[in-house]
Amino acid sequence: MSEIPPPPPPAPAAPYSGAAVPGSKNWMGIVGLILSILAILLACCWGSGILFAAGGAVLGFLGKKAADNGEATNRGLSSAAFILGIVAAALSAIVIVLGIFGFAAADWSSYY
């Protein structure tokens, strides 16, 4: 009496996150770039641009990695976001140092 063969095991489900969808992480470069440019404009405002610069540089870095993994197609934008984020952070740091040393000399009636 022959035994009924067991049904073949179900094929393992394709891992969803494993698939690299080209362009699915393009937002990182674009958002990073917007943050970095905002950071340059805000660097003068008591160095508050440093907050945006951090976000822009991190997103630029992640976007570059995503582009290398085939998940993004805008490596140039991410690279620009990364570099500009670092530039903005440096500018902000200079303004923060100026603010620490020049606070007393500041003209409180100046306008923006």
Partner 1 sequence: MTAIASFRSGGPAGRFMHWSAPATVTALVAGAVGYVALHNPHHETLSPPCMLLSTLGIYCPGCGGTRAVYDIAHGDFASALQMNGFVTLLVVPVAAAALAWWFARAVGVNVPSWRIPTWLIWLYVGALGAFWVLRNTPMFAPYLAP
Measured CA to CA in angstroms, residue 58 lies from 5, 14, 18, 41, 98 at distances of 55, 30, 22, 18, 25
Site string for partner 1, 84-103 (x = CB under 8 A): x----------x--xx-xxx
**DSSP state for residue 48 in the 8-state scheme:** T
- Asked if 105 interacts with partner 1 (CB under 8 A), we say yes
- Asked if 16 interacts with partner 1 (CB under 8 A), we say yes
- Asked if 43 interacts with partner 1 (CB under 8 A), we say yes
- Asked if 10 interacts with partner 1 (CB under 8 A), we say no
Q: What is the amino acid identity at position 16?
A: Y
Nearer to partner 1, 43 or 50 (CB): 43
Q: Considering only the stretches 1-9, 44-52, 56-64, report the one whose residues sit in contact with partner 1 under the rule CB under 8 A.
A: 44-52
Q: Which residues of 73-98 are buried (b: 16+ CB within 10 A; e: fewer)?
A: ebbebbbbbbebbbbbbebbeebeee
Please give the residue ranges that form the binding site for partner 1 (CB under 8 A).
Answer: 16, 30, 33, 37, 40-47, 74, 76-77, 79-80, 84, 95, 98-99, 101-103, 105-112
